[in-house]
């Protein structure tokens, strides 16, 4: 399946592809396009739009697109719930939601500055979310 979002990804637009590939659609392909073209590209490519205003898999209230994907696909893993808080804090105005959120925001911005090609950025940044998920799993298991 194809998924489409705005170009020049920040936190949510890399965290969501990691989540989708790991838990929803292992064969997912991601398209990054100008924001004003996301819905047209979604229709033309039969792609699922995410992290744009007015779509199901976007920001709603205080939650970000990562939260919307967790909810839509009924992902109940406690480590994902913990990771969702980190991502939400990094991607929204709630920067102090978790101790890790501000650090994730800085790392994501660093990747954005290093890579001008969105696909290259995605490829190199995905391991950050795998590492954070491992961290969250360890924290969740320790809390049990």
* 133 CB neighbour count, 10 Å cutoff: 20
- For 23-65, the pLDDT digits (tens) are 999 999 999 999 999 999 999 999 999 999 999 999 999 999 9
Q: Give tens-digit pLDDT for 93-136.
A: 999 999 999 999 999 999 999 999 999 999 999 999 999 999 99
What's the predicted TM-score (pTM) here? 0.95
Give residue 122's pLDDT: 98
Cα–Cα distance measured from residue 126 to residue 142, given in angstroms and rounded to the nearest whole number: 25
User: Which residues have C-beta within 8 Å of that of residue 56, sequence separation ≥ 6?
Assistant: 68, 72
The DSSP 8-state label assigned to residue 5 in this structure reads: E
Going from the C-alpha of 108 to that of each of 1, 14, 73, 144, the distances in angstroms are: 25, 9, 25, 30
Domain ranges in the chain are 2-143
């Amino acid at each position: 399946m194809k998924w489409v979002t705005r170009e020049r990804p920040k936190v949510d637009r890399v965290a969501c592809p990691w989540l989708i590939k790991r838990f929803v659609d292992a064969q997912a392909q991601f398209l990054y396009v100008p924001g004003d073209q996301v819905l047209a590209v979604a229709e033309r490519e039969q792609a699922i739009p995410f992290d744009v205003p007015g779509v199901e898999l976007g920001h709603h209230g205080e939650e970000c697109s990562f939260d919307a994907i967790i909810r839509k696909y009924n992902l109940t893993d406690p480590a994902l719930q913990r990771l969702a808080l980190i991502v939400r804090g990094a991607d929204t105005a709630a920067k102090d939601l978790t101790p890790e959120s501000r650090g994730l925001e800085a790392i994501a911005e660093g990747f954005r500055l290093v890579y001008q090609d969105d696909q290259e950025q995605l490829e190199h940044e995905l391991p950050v979310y795998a590492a954070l998920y491992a961290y969250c799993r360890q924290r969740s298991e320790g809390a049990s």
